[in-house]
Amino acid sequence: MKGTVFIEGTAAGPLLFADLGLSFMGGVDPSTGVVTDTHHPLRGQSITGNILAIPSGRGSCAGSLVIFELLTNGHAPKAFLFRRKEVILTLGVMIANELMGLGIPIVCLEEEDFNMLGLYPEAIIQGRTISVFDGSKDFQLSHYDQACLDGKHGEAVRVATRIVIRAAQLEGSNTLIDVDMAHIDGNFYQGPGSLLFARRLVDMSAHVKIPSTMNAICIDRKLWRDQGVLEALGLPSEELAECYVKMGVRGTYTCAPYLLDEAPLFGQQIAWGESNAVVFANSVLGARTLKYPDYLDILVAITGRAPYADCHVTSMRKATTCIVVSVAAVDDSFWPLLGYHVGKIATNDIPVICGLANLTVDADDLRAFGAAFATTSAAAMFHIVGITPEASTVEEACLGQQPTRHVEIGPTELEETWRELNTSISDDVDLIALGNPHFSLTEIGRLAYLCMGKRIALNTSMVVTCGETVFEKASKKGFVQTINDFGGTFLNDTCWCLIGEPVVERRVKNIVTNSGKYAHYGPAAVQKGFHFGSLERCVDAACTGSIDRSLPIWLLSMK
């Protein structure tokens, strides 16, 4: 079998094969290499010491962070075999190789050859050198780029530029562009490797060149000690965040940077990590960003230069899969459910969804759709006809061409996905987990309205995560007090994908959430049963301590 070598090397060993993409963040334990994704066929198996063959990654931008961690702690696979270009995981390996001298071979195979891998128990990789990855040969460098490579702007900029150029070549590009802002996703603690990476950059006097914001971290900086979070997590989390602050990254601590006052504008070139933020920026705001792997985001911020590739380029924003869904009336659970399902269909393709222009939809609905879509798809954006800014028609979304695939979604398909997200077999509810991604001011206002005059059930808790800026605005409007009076609490700085014990108490058996993203990642992250439903159903469950597990009325009406 002949493939394209992304990272050269040799490897031999057992072959671990799956025909479904795997999100390393939330799907692989970074300390052991065991697959934890409850929805994946490799669940429970260890990737350590195996040659891992998967079509691509999927889901979170933080896959690069996790593979970096696995390489530094000795639990990485021996090699990767992919069916499609996979930037996030490959960049994690490339960065570990540049900074730490650690690396494994990565080869991309044609589909027919890749599919044959499932027939064989072992494999040997003897990589061949691919010249396009041998530095900057044939690469169009600006005077600034060359000065960076020559070390005229310091060692950190020189190393960062080398990696950014390699990333561009991996994307099939031979040039870089200026970007106006960055959102850094790799600032949460996953183990010693993540802190080692940031310390190394600080020691090299790295500093961001463009305005940069920071993603959520593993702790609430003000509350973690009172919550009983171990210092083994709390202290390095604080140090890691402080390293990024030293590099000039603004301490916003939110996974929803589009809710900040400095949200990007239509057509603006940016460099964002965090999968839900990437998808919202591209699809809803019409800004332009890659699905930046963790660690590449800060390196781009240090240089101010980014690969001119993928969704930075107009032609790469074209929809190729047309998805038709017909529904008359919905509640807010429809949007994350549909996003999750569409992501399973368009795993590597940009979709355009038709049939929804008659619905009332707001930014919160699109955030929920996008976060769930980004969980199951590797694509960096979507279009919805009549709703998102680059899709007034199917033709506009497809840039005047015909989509290569047409898919219809009906009640049967949506019901299957509903049951996939509702994994608990018990009606009982112990915790209502809201804010993945971080709640907006309007979501907190709606929650306050639903909670007004009510009281949470005994032995049931409700926790909302949101950014500090949004929290302050919600406090001034009285929303926070109303929710506190109900019995709910708030966390800042952190987000549900990063939260475990003791914040999620050991006594908790079942969790209810309105987030398709958390309903996917949660079972593996905290080992609890999960219910998924609308915000109103979540509040009802909080009041009674149990949940209505019937299908929503809008879904029943589709049948």
Q: Mind giving me the DSSP string for 321-349?
A: EEEEE--S---TTHHHHHHHHHHHHSSSS
The Cα 290–Cα 311 span in angstroms is 6
Other beta carbons within 10 angstroms of residue 380's beta carbon come to: 25
The answer to whether the CB of 304 falls within 8 A of the CB of 210 is: yes
Specify burial of residue 87 (Cβ count, 10 A radius: 0-12, 13-18, 19+): buried
H or E stretch covering 276: helix 275-280
**Helix, coil or strand: residue 233:** helix
Look at residues 389, 398, 393 and name the one whose alpha carbon lies nearest to residue 284: 389
Q: How far apart are CA 121 and CA 15, in angstroms?
A: 5
- Encoded tokens for 1: 């079998």
293 secondary structure, DSSP code: P
Measured CA to CA, the distance from residue 259 to residue 466 in angstroms comes to 10
What secondary structure letter does DSSP report for 210? S
3-state SS string for 101-158: CCCCCEEECCHHHHHHHHHCCEEEEECCCCHHHCCCCCCECCHHHHHHHCCCCCHHHH
Q: Which amino acids are annotated catalytic?
A: 60
